[in-house]
Amino acid sequence: MNLASIRLITDDVARLVDFYEHLTGITADRPNEDFAELRTGTANLAIGSARTVGLIAPGAARAADNHSVLVEFLTDDVDRVHRDLAALGAEVVMAPTTMPWGNRSLVVRDPDGTLVNVFSPATAEAAARFAR
């Protein structure tokens, strides 16, 4: 089994999609106003309107209420992403920092408050975990 997608539920699909398009440089597929998907090549980030929750089970998810998941993106230049997001006024939770497990990470909040970790391997051991 492979991870195909993570879906974020929001009250403002356009705003959240704009943030992730800017962050990733990927243009989202937007089949309608209630759903969009960014295809990263390894897994997709889906963004659904709170109106779509009723199709699954009413009340099963709440928009902008994530307190347990970090959405993570691998990049080749954490510091560039930091500069770009700071210029946009994104809330920086952790400035670029090299973590004990060897990744250089930047943590920000998306417009709905979800934590987003943008990282690159900073050691040979970390790089080996992402070699394809």
CATH number at residue 33: 3.30.720.120
CB pairs under 8 A, 24+ apart, for 121-130? 122/98, 126/101, 126/102, 127/102, 130/74
Q: Do residues 6 and 50 share a domain?
A: yes
pLDDT at residue 131, as a whole number = 81
Q: Do residues 70 and 119 share a domain?
A: yes
Q: Domains in the chain: how many in total?
A: 2
Q: Do residues 74 and 125 share a domain?
A: yes
pTM over 0.85: yes
Domain that holds residue 117: 66-132
Which of 39, 57, 75 is the C-terminal boundary of a domain? 57
Which of 33, 57, 81 is the C-terminal boundary of a domain? 57
pLDDT at residue 132, as a whole number = 62
pLDDT in tens, 89-120: 999 999 999 999 999 999 999 999 999 999 99
Q: Do residues 125 and 77 share a domain?
A: yes
Per-residue pLDDT of the chain (132 residues; tens, 9 = 90+): 989 999 999 999 999 999 999 999 999 999 999 999 999 989 999 999 999 999 999 999 999 999 999 999 999 999 999 999 999 899 999 999 999 999 999 999 999 999 999 999 999 999 999 886
Which of 28, 57, 86 is the C-terminal boundary of a domain? 57
Q: Do residues 48 and 96 share a domain?
A: no
CA atoms of 6 and 111, how far apart (whole Å): 17
Scanning the chain, the segments in alpha helix (DSSP H) are 13-24, 53-56, 78-88, 124-129
Q: Say how many C-beta atoms besides its own lie within 10 A of residue 77's C-beta.
A: 13
